């Protein structure tokens, strides 16, 4: 197939027609897709969370669906439901919005824990079970969930088990004044998403996902990743550290990041760049540390400073 870096840059350039000034965040979203992972976007309203999901779906030709999570949302509203057909006397499955290739779970923390749990099987096992029958999800498949970190009234915080299902968490943040003017210029007549075109196919996305696993990861890099995860578990300010799923996710994300950079091997800088997006939401700050205004970002940054970085060596070198 075509050079993965060229394909990725084509997708990123297309997404940036809609999401201006957020190249790093758009790249992380693409990395998440190529890792067969899921993305949690945590930010205030109006900064482009929904548009990022839509732009990525249009650019890759993936089917897009949006689920607005509310307290009265039911699990079957997410997964689908079996309906009795009177003419045949049998039940037929009506797929829910989770069966699309890119799913936006908007304000995911506003639904009840029972409804939130409907996402667990889909995110981890890429399938849903309705009335005892298992239905496979399409490939590629990615859940992009959003939540507002400011307004907590009437919300149900995501449990640690569900947070761990997200490969990465990002914060878009406000655009710079210059970028905000560019956004206004771009949307003066109509929204760029209306004219956005597909640049690759879902089949090409699947091929890129397969290529990610071929990127070389040196044993020293693997040990570095494990040391980082262990350091979060042993940190004085951490009530709960990163899980083994976090270590696996950091390795796979580093592979995809290296591939998009045109390399066939992972280097320590890839791990450093992705450490907070992958591990930050998996580190639970202890109550005593929270009182001292310590957050997961500080913990991950301290861990990166404490753990020794492995040296660079040739592939397969001793």
pLDDT, tens digit, 9 for 90 and up, residues 204-255: 999 999 999 999 999 999 999 999 999 999 999 999 999 999 999 999 999 9
Residues 150 and 67 both lie in one domain: yes
- Does residue 98 sit within a domain? no
Same domain membership, residue 202 and residue 223: no
As for how many domains the chain has, the answer is: 2
Domain of residue 42, residue span: 4-71+103-108+139-210
Q: Are residues 67 and 154 in the same domain?
A: yes
Residues 184 and 217 in one domain: no
Whether 158 and 275 share a structural domain: no
Question: With bands split at pLDDT 50, 70 and 90, how would you rate the model's confidence at 285?
Answer: very high
Per-residue pLDDT tens for 32-76?
999 999 999 988 888 888 999 999 999 999 999 999 998 999 988
Determine the pLDDT at residue 90.
81
Whether 202 maps to a domain, the answer reads: yes
Whether residue 205 is found in the same domain as residue 246: no
* Secondary structure in 3-state letters for the chain: CCCHHHHHHHHHHHHCCCCCCCHHHHHHHHHHHHCCCCEEEECCCCCCHHHHHHHHHHHHCCCEEEEECCCCCCHHHHHEEEEEECCCCEEEEEECHHHCCEEEEECHHHCCHHHHCHHHHHHHHCEEEECCEEEECCCCCEEEEEECCCCCCCCCCCCHHHHCCCCEEECCCCCCHHHHHHHHHHCCCCCHHHCCCCCCCHHHHHHHHHHHCCCECCHHHHHHHHHHHHHHHHCCCEEECCCHHHHHHHHHHHHHHHHHCCCCECCHHHHHHHHHHHHHHHCEECHHHHHCCCCHHHHHHHHHHHCCCCCCCCCCCC
In a domain, 67, yes or no: yes
Give pLDDT, residue 146: 92
């Amino acid at each position: 197939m075509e050079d993965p870096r060229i394909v990725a840059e084509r997708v990123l350039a297309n997404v940036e027609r809609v999401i201006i000034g957020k190249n790093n965040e758009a790249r992380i979203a693409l990395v998440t897709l190529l890792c067969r992972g899921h993305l949690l976007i945590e930010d205030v309203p109006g900064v482009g969370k929904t548009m990022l999901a839509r732009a990525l779906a249009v650019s890759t030709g993936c089917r897009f669906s949006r689920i607005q999570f509310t307290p009265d949302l039911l699990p079957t509203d997410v997964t689908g439901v079996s309906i009795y057909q009177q003419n045949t006397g049998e039940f037929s499955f009506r797929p829910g919005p989770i069966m699309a290739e890119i799913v936006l779970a908007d304000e995911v923390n506003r639904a009840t824990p029972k409804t939130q749990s409907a996402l667990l099987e889909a995110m981890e096992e890429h399938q849903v079970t309705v009335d005892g029958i298992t239905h496979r999800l399409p490939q590629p498949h990615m859940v992009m969930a959003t939540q507002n970190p400011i307004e907590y009234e009437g919300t149900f915080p995501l449990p640690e088990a569900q947070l761990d299902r997200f490969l990465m968490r990002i914060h878009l943040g406000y655009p710079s004044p210059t970028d905000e003017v560019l956004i206004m210029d771009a949307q003066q007549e109509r929204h760029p998403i209306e004219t956005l075109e597909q640049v690759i196919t879902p089949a090409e996305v699947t091929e890129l996902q397969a290529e990610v696993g071929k990127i070389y990861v040196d044993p020293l890099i693997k040990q570095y990743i494990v040391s980082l995860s262990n350091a979060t578990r042993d940190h004085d300010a951490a009530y709960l550290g990163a899980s083994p799923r976090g270590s696996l996710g950091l390795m796979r994300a580093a592979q995809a990041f290296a591939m998009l950079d045109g390399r066939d091997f992972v280097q320590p800088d890839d791990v450093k760049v992705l450490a907070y997006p992958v591990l930050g939401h998996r580190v639970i700050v202890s109550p005593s540390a929270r009182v001292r205004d310590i957050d997961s970002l500080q913990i991950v940054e301290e861990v990166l400073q404490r753990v020794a970085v492995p040296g660079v060596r040739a592939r397969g070198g001793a």
